[in-house]
Structure 1
Amino acid sequence: MVVQENLLLGANASRNSTFTLVFLAILKGFVGFHSGSSALIADAVHTSLDIFTSFAVWVGLKLSLKGNAEKFPYGYYKADNLVSLFVSVIILFSGIELVHEALLNIKNPVEIKLQGIALGTALFSAMSMYALSQYKARVGRQIDSQALIADALHSYTDVFSSLIVVIAIAGSILGIMWLDSVGVLLISLMIFKLGIGIARDSVLTLMDAWLDRDSITRTRQNVASIQGVKQVEEIRLRKSGLVVFGEIEIEIEGNADLKRVEMLSEEIEKTVKNEVKNLEHLVINAKPGKMSAMKIAVPVLEPEGLQSKVSRHFGRAPYFIIFELEGDEIKSWQVNRNPASGLERKRGLKTAEFLKSQGVNVVIVGEIGEGPFHNLHDSFVKMLRMPEEAEDVEKVVEKVSGLSRLTSHTE
């Protein structure tokens, strides 16, 4: 919905620009014809080309407003980039045109009649083009339209071409006929640089190149910091007109069941949208991470190491033994007092928070309430059902590989 509103805003800006350029072209052509100012007539022709360019941007943005079609499942958004490429070509031709005008004026300087009116028209044109370029640039940046920004830059170069006309007329008044030609040659170099830059960005975008590498780095860091994401393997982004399509491959902690992936996908998409403006669609490919070492917590009644008697209750257990299991081998273990066992309220939730703070990724438990169950589940901590016949921790460890997973709370 926001993208459609932005496209409509951009289309309206291009339409307003087109009508303004029509007025300026007619004004400069009329005054140029009656004053005999070839520079003003040339500028009118130049502005006429701008009408075509601005109209093309308008058409491109209107095309982008069309919804998806069978032949265009990703929409018509790239029309914006195609128009931007077209505008860059027009800019380069404008530069060539200005060079040609400058060389002609050096050879054949012309004296201008109605100099005051011609000078006023050129100044008015320069101010109007500057205001128009700022208007289009502001809207273009607001909606992130490459074509509208390119057209704004084109209009900005037209400010200089109008100023050249001012210099040419002022030079005619002062008897210095070559001033406009020198200015034209210098400004043409700026126009060439601008046109080549826009053409380069347009071609790269059409080839699905992503130009903002910093946003990839920030996105990778932010997604990797989400609880449950073990590793961000790859991020691919491509711009299509105003919008961005993306794909991200992640490795998640624990099993990649549908509910977990759905929960993570929502948070990942929200995180990516904070970094990438106008994200239209994000494909998230999630796969379960390889758990090289499990950090397992078992509730126990006393701190007697692996011989400790197990407690079937989660929140009321006075101690937890936490051990790292690699394959079938215990690499290390420690017994911690449960700081929440004596609480009257939220005992289970506080116990869950405590275990997470210890880096636990697996809990073996007999009875667990709804609150702590969802707390651990949402944090991608795997919960296994404690075997009925197990009396101490050693017996539980022997059966770890065959324990079933808890899929709901038991209290």
Structure 2
Amino acid sequence: MAVQENLLLGAKASKNATLTLVFLSILKGVVGFYSGSASLIADAIHTSLDIFTSLAVWIGLKLSMRGSEEKFPYGYYKADNLVSLFVSIIILFSGVELVREALLNIASPVEIKLQGIALGTAVFSVIAMYALSQYKFKVGKQIDSQALIADALHSYTDVFSSLIVAITIIGSLLGVLWLDSAGVLVISLMIFKLGIGMAKDSILTLMDAWLDKDSIERIRQNVGSIQGVKTVDEIRLRKSGLVVFGEIEIEIEGDASLKRVEMLFEEIEKTVKNEVKNLEHLVVNVKPEKISVMKIAVPVLMQEGLHSKVSRHFSKAPYFIFIELENNDIISWDVSENPAAGLEKKKGLKAAEFLKDQGVNVLIAGEIGEAPFHTLRDNFVKLLQMPEEIEDVEQVVKKVSELNTLTAPTE
């Protein structure tokens, strides 16, 4: 189901819940007032606060439906999380008020009148609030709305609070008058526990914390099993309202051509979507496989192996020495003539094409023209600046990790 359809479904659920809560709060308030039941009045206050929380959830979901814009490039989805935090604050506030009322009434309990009507109202409230909480929870889970789920859990506490009200009224029938205020205190404790838990989850989500660690491990395992993916380095997910934004960094085997990367992206996105509901956007950062063996080319003046004198002129050098380096250790080397050295025109370009054909991935050069520079760069050959003070090939190779990268032609 599309995100916009989810938001519409959630907004409709919040609207229906608000109307139901208005009816229940009025019913419990009126019966509580005429019967003198403090717990029923407290439950009516609790339910009336639910009206504001349901309205807040509705507003948050409606805001989330607004598209992205220059000021909010990621949309208004976090309005859902802000509303969830707001709901938790209201829940805690209602708990404080109920405790205050209970402490005032526990010292001087009042006998409940119209006990049958009060008990019937409490039982009806239990049934109605249970049905309402299940409805909101089902829709909240379906669309993955943190605010709607939080609101459903809040309504679920009303089920227990109404049940406690029924018990206190039964206690009044049996002559245990203080049970009414004690019931209010129990309801308040339940409200505090719920509010603190909701506030914690809302704050963590607003700070982009990802709470489902198991899903990260499953994604790492499933993406790592895709053919062509060598390693999965980083996985970052963050929830914004109903939707999730993600970033994954992988290392692939072989070349990183655009067509190959595009094919891998489609498979990776599908894999992540299987684990993460409402994935809105996924960034896949692809790194080519780390080169275990570097093939380095150095222009030289003579054929004396690793002791050859280096040539600072890339295209005019009579020879190139090719060195294979693994973990900074030389494992082999070979000297070849530069086929472009005797040419009058385009010798730099010819020399660059020669190195490309030899599979070179690093060139150490002093002077290099524009055409060979761009030819080698376009073929992913790394260009390093040859140091001024070193003349021996072996000394140059030993310092390869310290050399500066050439970022522009030098001739």
TM-score of the aligned structures, taking structure 2 as reference length: 0.70
RMSD: 2.1
Q: Classify 1:402/1:69 alpha carbon distance in 2 versus 1 (closer, same or farther; 3 Å).
A: closer
Specify every segment of 5 or more residues in structure 2 that has no aligned partner in the other structure, as ranges: 295-323, 333-356, 362-411
Are residues 1:135 and 2:139 paired? no
Alpha-carbon offset, residue 400 of structure 1: 5.7
| Equivalent runs, 1:164-313 vs 2, <5 Å | 164-292=164-292
Matched residue type, 2:145:
S
| Equivalent runs, 1:27-66 vs 2, <5 Å | 27-66=27-66
**Which secondary structure does the structure 1 equivalent of 2:24 belong to?**
helix
Matched residue type, 1:213:
K
Q: How far apart, CA to CA, are the structure 1 residues paired with 2:233 and 2:78? A: 28
Q: How far apart, CA to CA, are the structure 2 residues paired with 1:96 and 1:167? A: 22
Task: Tell me the equivalent position of 1:322.
Answer: none
Task: Tell me the equivalent position of 1:111.
Answer: 111
Task: Tell me the equivalent position of 1:378.
Answer: none
Task: Tell me the equivalent position of 2:370.
Answer: none
Task: Tell me the equivalent position of 1:401.
Answer: 359
**Which secondary structure does the structure 1 equivalent of 2:69 belong to?**
coil
Alpha-carbon offset, residue 184 of structure 1: 3.2
Task: Tell me the equivalent position of 2:367.
Answer: none
Specify every segment of 5 or more residues in structure 1 that has no aligned partner in the other structure, as ranges: 295-324, 331-398, 404-411
Alpha-carbon offset, residue 402 of structure 1: 6.9
For each residue in 1:102-143, what CA deviation from the matched residue of structure 2 results, as whole angstroms up to 9, or x when unmatched? 222311211122111111111111211111111111111111
Q: Classify 1:107/1:119 alpha carbon distance in 2 versus 1 (closer, same or farther; 3 Å).
A: same
Q: How far apart, CA to CA, are the structure 1 residues paired with 2:180 and 2:2? A: 46
* Paired residues of 1:254 and 1:291 also in contact (CA < 8 A): no
Q: How far apart, CA to CA, are the structure 2 residues paired with 1:261 and 1:143? A: 31
* Paired residues of 2:42 and 2:184 also in contact (CA < 8 A): no
* Paired residues of 2:126 and 2:159 also in contact (CA < 8 A): yes
Alpha-carbon offset, residue 163 of structure 1: 1.9
**Which secondary structure does the structure 2 equivalent of 1:401 belong to?**
coil
| Equivalent runs, 1:1-80 vs 2, <5 Å | 2-80=2-80
**Which secondary structure does the structure 2 equivalent of 1:68 belong to?**
coil
* Paired residues of 1:209 and 1:238 also in contact (CA < 8 A): yes
Q: How far apart, CA to CA, are the structure 2 residues paired with 1:230 and 1:137? A: 41
* Paired residues of 2:14 and 2:58 also in contact (CA < 8 A): yes
**Which secondary structure does the structure 1 equivalent of 2:68 belong to?**
coil
Alpha-carbon offset, residue 254 of structure 1: 1.7
Q: How far apart, CA to CA, are the structure 1 residues paired with 2:249 and 2:58? A: 37
Alpha-carbon offset, residue 62 of structure 1: 1.0
Matched residue type, 2:211:
L
Alpha-carbon offset, residue 97 of structure 1: 2.3
Matched residue type, 2:241:
G
Alpha-carbon offset, residue 26 of structure 1: 1.4
Task: Tell me the equivalent position of 1:304.
Answer: none
Alpha-carbon offset, residue 193 of structure 1: 1.9
* Paired residues of 2:31 and 2:121 also in contact (CA < 8 A): yes
**Percentage of matched positions with identical amino acids:** 79
Q: How far apart, CA to CA, are the structure 2 residues paired with 1:182 and 1:107? A: 11
**Which secondary structure does the structure 1 equivalent of 2:148 belong to?**
helix
Moved more, 11-20 or 285-294: 285-294
Matched residue type, 1:92:
L
For each residue in 1:364-408, what CA deviation from the matched residue of structure 2 results, as whole angstroms up to 9, or x when unmatched? xxxxxxxxxxxxxxxxxxxxxxxxxxxxxxxxxxx86379xxxxx
Alpha-carbon offset, residue 162 of structure 1: 1.4
Alpha-carbon offset, residue 293 of structure 1: 6.1
For each residue in 1:221-262, what CA deviation from the matched residue of structure 2 results, as whole angstroms up to 9, or x when unmatched? 111111111111111100000100001111111222211111
* Paired residues of 2:38 and 2:181 also in contact (CA < 8 A): no
**Which secondary structure does the structure 1 equivalent of 2:359 belong to?**
helix
* Paired residues of 2:109 and 2:181 also in contact (CA < 8 A): no
Task: Tell me the equivalent position of 1:88.
Answer: 88
Q: How far apart, CA to CA, are the structure 1 residues paired with 2:164 and 2:106? A: 14
Task: Tell me the equivalent position of 1:161.
Answer: 161
Moved more, 171-180 or 76-85: 171-180
Q: How far apart, CA to CA, are the structure 1 residues paired with 2:254 and 2:18? A: 58
Q: How far apart, CA to CA, are the structure 1 residues paired with 2:105 and 2:111? A: 11
